[in-house]
Amino acid sequence: DAGVIQSPRHEVTEMGQEVTLRCKPISGHNSLFWYRQTMMRGLELLIYFNNNVPIDDSGMPEDRFSAKMPNASFSTLKIQPSEPRDSAVYFCASTTFRDRKNIQYFGAGTRLSVL
């Protein structure tokens, strides 16, 4: 398997623009997580899905953030409108929920810069 695939790897945008980050989880995994990582706040869980259903979105910072998982092989994280403080590395991770060990496989991340 190619692992968790995220796109784009880098995104530079201007304040106020819409940003869409994409993630393809590992085939057969039924849990998907979106994280944000910054120096100040470390690795923060934004939202996670089980079997394509959002379970916990308490980490989503504001209504400007939204996430969808239309099928088992694709998820998006959207920021609209983007702000400079959204600049961070965004990671997607997937795992198999069944065994409860929650061993997560991370993508390479999307480095977002909002100017």
Partner 1 sequence: SQKIEQNSEALNIQEGKTATLTCNYTNYSPAYLQWYRQDPGRGPVFLLLIRENEKEKRKERLKVTFDTTLKQSLFHITASQPADSATYLCALVNTNAGKSTFGDGTTLTVKP
Binding site for partner 1 (CB under 8 A): 4, 31, 33, 35, 42-43, 45, 48, 50, 55-56, 91, 93, 97, 100-109
Q: Cβ distance 98 to 51 under 8 Å? A: no
Minimum separation from the CB atom of position 16 to partner 1 (A) = 28
- Smallest separation, CB 81 to partner 1 (Å): 27
Nearest Cα neighbor of 83 from 40, 38, 114, 37 is 114
Q: Is the CB of 86 or the CB of 109 nearer to partner 1? A: 109
- Report the amino acid identity of residue 99: D
Lookup result for tokens 């959207």? 78
Q: Which is nearer to partner 1, 27 or 51 (CB)?
A: 51
Query: Among positive and negative, which fits the CA dihedral 93, 39, 65, 111?
Result: negative
Least distance between partner 1 and beta carbon 97 (Å): 6
